Structures are given as structure tokens and as C-alpha cells.
């Protein structure tokens, strides 16, 4: 019963926090040229606006977001990557990489993402898995892990292939995941960089990011362009303003410039219509749990970080709820900050954010209360 009272209290506080937020004036939806697009709020992944976002299309070089994040998760930034004849001979290699040359993973990934070198992506795939086919398998496994249900990768660079496709929504899922990685954000946020080879040692190339929004759009933070005749203009663009973080995905725009214009319109729309509200916080949602085998019979469990959530123009704040998944009884000892459960933010019943719940420190030992907790654990769990 105490848990039910607690849950009700938390919901009342949550509703009180959200309801006073002023509504923003409505505005026309963005008129874009691309055939498919989506705009999401980054922290929760909530869709702010979309157009044919579930239609399968060629993602072009937005594919390299997956190649880059997999490299960052599996290769040391200082590791040397050898350029093979296969990588050299890949279509469109603006870095001018040649077979036998070597670059650090950090340098090669920077060149791959900024000037969209297709051969660099092949070199990365070969370094990690020995070849493009094996690496594509890794890419598809990661896509499945991220919930990219309408995506299939056939190569690491996005060159046209009938079995290489995705959707705007899936690309947004990938971009959101990748932008949580500090090294990834650092790479894609650079407007210019210098690429230095480890062999030959005197080879150096200044490069400019193909993302023309960098330096020309307030708050822009990345991410990746894409273009082929089959895919048209593609762009994953991210931006932050006043605590609001957005990701826009554009697929199959008519021209290279149209993709940037479309992304601007979408981001502008999002910043007009989205505001963030403080949500799950440690102080507001801390709760007590029973302890067995400890010097104390109760301890606090609290979120390890805050979750802020978006209010989008015209919606009802009551669509937000929270669900706490924490055991009624934990066993001592428990280290300070030990993860014992999670709290989930839901919008219309669908999870849009999750934060781990950690216990305060509990020392092992004996107390009358803790003894009875262990004795009646089964009963407590059924309450």
C-alpha cells in the first residue's frame, strides 16, 4: 500500500510540474522538398514532426554514422589502420588514400565523416572484421539492437545497393544513439580539421566538413551529409538551443542545397514548438526500499540522473507518466550508487526515457528490523 501511495504522490507532483508550462502559438508545418523526413527531440527520441518517415529509402553516406560509432566502440583511437588496394579503389575517396598508407583510427574517422570518404569506410570495415561483408553483418546486428526495424546495411559507406536501405525514423534512432558518444560528437561537430598520416609521415591534408550548416546555423552540432543520384540529398542534422536538443533527418531531397534548407526549416519549427521541462529528478522521486541482512532495515533508492522531457505545442501534459521498477527488498551489503532497478518515463504508455535507480550505501550486519525483512520477504514482495 505504501508503494501505491508513493506512486500516486509522484504522479501528482509530475502533473503539477508540467501543467503550468505555457503553450506556444501554433505555426505552419515546415514546407520541405525532401520525400521523407523526421524531426525528433534528442533526449527522449519523441517525434516532433515527420513526413513519410517509415518509408524505406537509400541512406547514402548517412550510413557512415553507423560505421563511425562501431569503430569508436571497437577500435582504439590511436590504432593504425592500413589502407588496402580495395579501400584505395573504392569510388569517391576525397582523402586521396593509397594502398600501403597508414592513418590512426581517429584521423581516418575524422576524414571519413568530414569529407565523406568512401574508401576510408572500407578501410575501417576491413580493419575491424576483415572485409565489408563481415562488417555489414556487425552493422545489421547493431541496427537490430537499436530498434532499426526497417534498415539493412550492405556496405559501410552507403554506395547504392538494392539491399542497403533505411528510413528517416531509423536514421534518427541511429543518430540519437551515436550523439551520446562524446568522441562521435567531437568528430561530427568540426567545421574543419587537419588529417595527418602516420605513413608516409609528411602527408597532411586540411579538410572541410560537407555539412554546410556548421558555422551557419545557430546551435548546430552535427552530423552527416549524404548524396548519390539514387538517394538524392540526405542529411542528419543536430542542434541545441536553450536546453532543447533536436535531430532532423532529410532523405531524397532534389538537390544538395535543398537538404540544408529543409533541415533549417525543420529545426526552426522544432525550436518554436518544443520546450523542455524538468522531469525525473533524484530529489523528487527517491523512494525507500526494505533491506535484509543489513545494519538498517530501510534505505533510499534514487535515479542516478535527471530526465528532462519535451512539451510539444498542443499536447496534454497528462500523457506523461512514470513507472518505477525496483525490488521491494534488497540485500545488504549495497555499495553507494549500486544499480538496483530503473525508472521509466512514458508518453501515452510508450517508453521515451529510462534512468537507472541506485541505492544508498547499506552495510552488512544485524538489526531487528532487517531480520524480520528477511523473514517476511515473500510477503513484502506481494504487497
pLDDT band at 354 (very low <50, low <70, confident <90, very high): confident
End-to-end CA distance of the chain: 7
Yes or no: say if 295 and 277 are a contact pair by the CB < 8 Å rule: no
The DSSP secondary-structure symbol of 317 reads G
Residue at 183 is within a domain: yes
This prediction has a pTM of 0.84
241/309 same-domain check: no
Residue at 30 is within a domain: no
The residue out of 206, 239, 273 marking a domain boundary is: 273
70/194 same-domain check: yes
* Structural domain span for residue 311: 2-19+281-382
43/59 same-domain check: yes
Among the listed residues 299, 314, 383, the one whose alpha carbon sits nearest the alpha carbon of residue 26: 314
Element (H, E) at 310: strand 307-312
50's CB contacts (< 8 A; 6+ apart) are: 37, 38, 39, 168, 169
371's CB contacts (< 8 A; 6+ apart) are: none
CATH of the domain at 268: 3.40.710.10
Cell triple for 332: 545488504
pLDDT band at 17 (very low <50, low <70, confident <90, very high): very low
CA-only gyration radius of the chain, Å? 24
Residue 328 has pLDDT above 80, yes or no: yes
308's CB contacts (< 8 A; 6+ apart) are: 43, 243, 276, 277, 278, 279
Residue 10 has pLDDT above 70, yes or no: no
Predicted pLDDT at 8:
39
Interval 84-114: pLDDT, tens: 999 999 999 999 999 999 999 999 999 999 9
- How many domains does the chain fold into? 2
**3-class DSSP state for residue 222?**
strand
Amino acid at each position: 500500500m505504501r508503494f501505491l501511495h508513493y506512486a500516486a504522490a509522484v504522479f501528482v507532483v509530475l502533473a503539477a510540474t508540467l501543467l503550468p508550462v505555457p503553450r506556444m502559438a501554433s505555426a505552419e508545418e515546415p514546407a520541405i522538398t525532401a520525400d521523407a523526413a523526421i524531426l525528433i527531440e534528442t533526449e527522449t527520441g519523441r517525434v516532433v514532426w515527420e513526413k513519410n518517415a517509415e518509408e524505406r529509402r537509400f541512406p547514402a553516406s548517412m550510413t557512415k554514422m553507423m560505421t563511425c560509432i562501431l569503430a569508436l566502440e571497437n577500435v582504439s583511437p590511436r590504432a593504425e589502420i592500413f589502407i588496402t588496394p580495395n579501400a584505395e579503389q573504392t569510388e569517391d575517396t576525397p582523402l586521396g588514400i593509397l594502398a600501403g598508407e597508414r592513418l590512426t583510427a581517429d584521423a581516418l574517422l575524422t576524414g571519413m565523416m568530414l569529407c565523406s570518404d568512401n574508401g576510408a569506410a572500407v578501410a575501417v570495415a576491413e580493419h575491424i572484421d576483415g572485409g565489408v561483408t563481415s562488417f555489414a553483418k556487425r552493422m545489421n546486428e547493431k541496427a537490430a539492437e537499436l530498434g532499426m526495424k526497417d534498415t539493412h546495411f550492405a556496405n559501410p559507406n552507403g554506395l547504392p545497393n538494392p539491399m542497403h536501405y533505411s528510413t528517416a525514423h531509423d536514421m534518427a534512432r541511429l543518430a540519437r544513439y551515436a550523439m551520446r558518444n562524446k568522441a562521435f560528437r567531437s568528430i561530427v561537430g568540426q567545421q574543419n580539421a587537419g588529417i595527418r598520416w602516420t605513413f608516409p609521415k609528411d602527408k597532411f591534408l586540411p579538410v572541410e566538413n560537407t555539412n554546410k550548416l556548421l558555422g551557419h546555423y545557430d546551435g548546430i552540432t552535427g552530423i552527416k551529409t549524404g548524396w548519390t543520384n539514387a538517394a538524392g540529398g540526405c542529411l542528419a542534422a543536430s542542434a541545441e538551443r536553450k536546453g532543447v536538443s533536436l535531430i532532423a533527418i532529410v532523405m531524397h531531397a532534389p538537390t544538395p542545397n535543398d537538404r540544408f534548407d529543409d533541415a533549417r526549416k525543420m529545426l526552426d519549427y522544432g525550436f518554436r514548438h518544443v520546450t523542455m521541462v524538468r522531469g525525473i529528478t533524484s530529489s523528487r522521486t527517491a523512494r525507500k526500499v526494505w533491506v535484509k541482512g543489513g545494519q538498517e532495515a530501510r534505505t533510499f533508492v534514487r535515479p542516478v540522473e535527471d530526465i528532462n522531457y519535451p512539451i510539444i505545442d498542443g499536447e496534454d501534459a497528462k500523457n506523461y507518466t512514470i513507472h518505477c521498477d525496483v525490488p521491494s527488498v534488497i540485500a545488504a551489503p549495497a555499495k553507494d550508487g549500486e544499480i538496483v532497478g530503473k525508472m521509466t518515463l512514458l508518453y501515452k504508455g510508450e517508453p521515451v526515457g529510462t534512468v537507472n535507480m541506485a541505492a544508498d550505501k547499506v552495510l552488512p550486519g544485524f538489526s531487528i528490523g532487517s531480520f524480520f525483512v528477511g523473514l517476511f520477504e515473500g510477503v513484502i514482495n506481494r504487497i
